[in-house]
A and B are shown apart, each in its own frame.
Chain A
Amino acid sequence: MNENTKLILAVAVTAIICITGTYVAVGGSDGDDSSGTTLSVAGSTTVFPLMGLYQESYEKYTNVTLEVTGNGSGAGANAVINGTADIGMLSRDLKQAEIDAGLKSTIIAKDGVAVIVGSGAGVTDLTLEQIAKIFSGDITNWSDVGGTAGTIAVTVRDAESGTRDCFDTVMKAAYSSYAIPDSANEVGGSGAMVATVNGNATAIGYVSLGYLGQLTSGSAVKVEGVDATPANVLNESYQIQRNLILATMGDPSGAVQNFFNWILGPQGQQIAAKKDFVPVGSVTV
């Protein structure tokens, strides 16, 4: 390649990048031009995949565009309070401070928190007290709960997770000296939790029912003899459960309200049921 060719090539590449970039930046007509409303949604990683499915269906019928980020329940509530999101996804009820800040909640589904263990744990059924002791560091070997000998690798969610909030509340009720040690392995999302248990044979963690499909190695254990299934959440025999809510600043109105009505209607609830969440509307599981 001679020098001139090289220069022409370099200039051409730069030009192409700049032109494509400018084209998309100023909004060239690439067929997806949206003239409708955009709603930004942030929050719980538990609700995030469900919201993804809502989005795929809902955007077909309307000109509403959804922008979704999953970064934890606390992040969702604060994003609405700070004004950076229209809708917050939470996998727990609102805290008093959040209600005081003006948030209103709409329950869209119920969900169970499954206790998941790695493939080498060798246990299928645990009591609430056993689980609480494992997470507090009072039981450290699988052989102490009837499993295969091996140090238990405890994984917990971050402090602002709705899943952790629900799990901790149930555990505290079952075992008074329940406390997560600072040294526990902490992950920032539901998917990360499942990935950790998939990759570690002696791990224990907890995750929403909606994520059990991602669990490829390891399994969900029975809690007090009850399987973690939507049906058992609905009849309340499975004890680790919570509400999934969407939070807005003030009562929902306009496009947000229409969206919520659709979610609570048959189509939306059917999608929730398909994802292993428990519908709150009139859809059979």
Chain B
Amino acid sequence: MGLTDLLTGPRWRSSEGLYGTVPIITATLLVTAGAILFAVPIGVAAAIFISEVTPSRFKSVLKSISEVFAGIPSVIYGFFGLTVLVPLLRDTFPSHLLMGYSWLAGSILLGIMALPTIISVSEDALSAVPKSYREASMAMGATKWETTIKVVTPAAISGISAAIILGIGRAVGETMAVMMVCGNSAIVPDPIFNVFSRIRPITSTIALEMPYVVIGSTHYSALFFLALILMIMVLAISMASKIIVNRTRRKFGETENKPSLTGIIVAKLPVPLVNGFKNALVVAGLFLIAYFISLTFSNSFGAVLIGISVTVAIVASSLLWLNRLKNEGVSDRPRNPSEFIESIPVKIKAVSRNIITYALVITVVFMGASLFYDDVVAFMAGLAVAAAYVTLRSVFRRIDSRVVQKVAHTALLAVMIFAILLLVYILADIFIEGLPMITWDFLTGYPKDAGRAGGIYPAIVGTLKLIVGSMIIALPLGMITGIFLAEYAKDTPFTRTVRNSIDILNGTPSIVFGLFGMSAFVIYFGFGNSLLAGCITLGLMVLPVIIRTTEEALKAVPGELREGSMAMGATKWETTVKVVLPAAIGSVITGVILSIGRVAGETAPIMFTAVIMYQRVMSHSIFDPVMALPYQLFYLATEGMGSPAMQSAVATVLLIMVLSMFTLASVVRHYFDKRIRW
């Protein structure tokens, strides 16, 4: 089986030895795109509301609500999707969704999960816009809303883009929730925008097929190939967000990051070679995008032809355009895309922006409507919506700007309330059903009848064991590395590369850790499906978080403290241990508690490394597997085992455990925030 077969094969069916990744990769792209369409308007609106409209005393409340969203384990979202969202969609679209399992369900769920990232990062970006910008705009007589939309948001646009990209990163790597609601058919939706289709993204495929793969077989390699593609996607996403963050820094006059090893190597290469490489990358990227899109409606030979012709067309027309600009003496040959865009005359820009907007509106409405009505009606609907959009825009231009502000702020408030209600609903749904089930016997009893009845004691203890074990592995290693990076490491290209690698590790999807843990610890080192293998895997997963929080916390301690201590004759080590570390301990503890919350709720890394479904007697050997709460919930919910109340009760216990970690973290942070003053 060659690389081309993997990349162009239209079918993935392990039982027949078919490992074409087209439907799988397409599914990941589609479900992510859908999630972003859902999350970006809500997330950005909520961020604008929190940053620009909310009175300052409510700000921290709203921000911590969005943090609660982030703290809920993905298996809980999956459980909510399975028990509430899927039946709801099935009943809303009875003629389109026979079961409710769909791309639509997956995207909505992923969108909810990406919300906290988008809200908090966008909010930071908006708040970072200097006050003088707002004052200047208001002084010119603009209303608050006009200032927000025309001055503050454009100034923060890079940060907001970074937020969206990070949200994409979260959605791409998510496993449990999508696996529970997407229906998992390895098909390309027909037509490509059919949101009611069942799909099977990369992460679900790995999680579904890993249990029965034969080690060393073609199938095994194909799953690792999928993991590789996932990693490439995540890498590309993290690089893109880095580039954008750097650009923002430059814009607000901060210095850029110094280059890492790779940066230095690139700088030493001859310029034509680098440029040639960049151009080749752009051309390859264009070709791949065109190729993949056309694969959905054409065979692979046709797709290659379309890919080549689209690429040639784009490259040729942009070269012609550039040449014309040069001949007219409008500018020198633009060196990068943004200069290129700036070189376009204002009028043409405005017109083309309008054309693009209308085309987009019409296309999106057409795609949505054509799922319900025939194409002609759908197209008319697209036109109608575009016309309504034009009318509304001109109406809004004419009415009083204070009225516009009122309407806009009300709309933002509505979005914020929607987001909060969503959270309350998810939590209430689980708590109301689950809490009455929780008795002392349930918490301390052993399961009966294959987990359908009885208690969940072994699962609670198993989760605690996983927490303690992973912390024993990650804490010393992570804190020492963090201290080293902050206090001892000089700012060399090598340490910058280490830091970049840690960031990449931080963004790695948890299913990839699961895959790695299984092949390395379970199989290669021969630990078997065991507590030990699970703890190491989870430990590795939270290591980057602990390193980074320790490092950031230590760096936040002012240099004067160190200088003062050194001046008293203390050694560097004494200073670090007795002065710097105590000053930073609040943030370090907060980081550690947050990682404990994450470990408690993660399912994907332990499902092939450490857990079993049913245990009547607990073993105390670290080479034996354990039961764990998140996996138990996943298994009960997907297998329909036990009453819904029993499932909700397991979810409730898990939620209480995780949320109390978050509350604890915020109490600790508050306490130290107030105590420590420089």
Contact = CB atoms under 8 A, between A and B. Distances in A.
Contact of B664 (A14, A32, A71, A192): A14
B211 interface: yes
Interface string A1-31: 0010011011001100110111011110010
Contacts of B183: 185-186
B101 interface: yes
A78 B99 CA distance: 31
A85 B212 CA distance: 12
A199 B87 contact: yes
A32 B457 CA distance: 12
Interface in B461-518: 461, 464-465, 467-469
A81 interface: yes
Contact of A191 (B215, B468, B617, B641): B641
A18 B98 contact: no
A100 to B, nearest CB: 12
Chain B: interface residue count, which band? 35 or more
Nearest to B624: A38
B616 A214 contact: no
B214 interface: yes
Nearest to A160: B212
Contact of A55 (B15, B186, B614, B619): B614
Interface string A153-182: 101001110000000000000000000001
B322 interface: no
B450 interface: yes
B448 A70 contact: no
Given A185-B101, A199-B87, A202-B98, A10 B664 contact: yes
A21 B451 contact: no
A24 to B, nearest CB: 5
Interface stretch (B333-341, B365-373, B385-393, B523-531): B523-531
Contact of B185 (A25, A83, A186): A186
Interface in B636-672: 638-641, 660, 664, 667-668, 670-671
B212 A48 contact: no
Interface string A33-51: 1100010101001001101
A200 B99 contact: yes
A32 to B, nearest CB: 5
B98 A25 contact: no
Contacts, number: 183
B137 interface: no
Given A40-B625, A185-B198, A200-B99, A49 B465 contact: no
B208 interface: yes
A190 B640 CA distance: 9
Contact of B675 (A3, A18, A40): A3
Contacts of B214: 78, 81-82
A183 B99 CA distance: 13
- The residue in B87, B641, B671 that gathers the most chain A C-beta atoms within 10 A of its C-beta is B641
- The residue in B101, B616, B621, B667 that gathers the most chain A C-beta atoms within 10 A of its C-beta is B616
A42 B491 CA distance: 51
Interface residues of A, number: 76
B451 A52 contact: yes
B185 A195 contact: no
A246 to B, nearest CB: 16
Interface stretch (A59-67, A106-114, A130-138): A59-67
Contacts of A21: 464-465, 467-468
A22 B183 CA distance: 40
Contact of A40 (B99, B612, B667): B612
Contacts of B465: 21, 24-25
A203 B450 CA distance: 26
Interface of A: 3, 6-7, 9-10, 13-14, 17-18, 20-22, 24-27, 30, 32-34, 38, 40, 42, 45, 48-49, 51-53, 55-56, 59, 65-72, 74-75, 77-79, 81-85, 151, 153, 155, 158-160, 182-192, 194-196, 198-200, 202-203, 214
Instruction: Enumerate the 5 nearest inter-chain pairs by beta-carbon distance, A residue then B residue, closest first.
Output: A195-B640, A191-B639, A27-B620, A52-B450, A21-B468
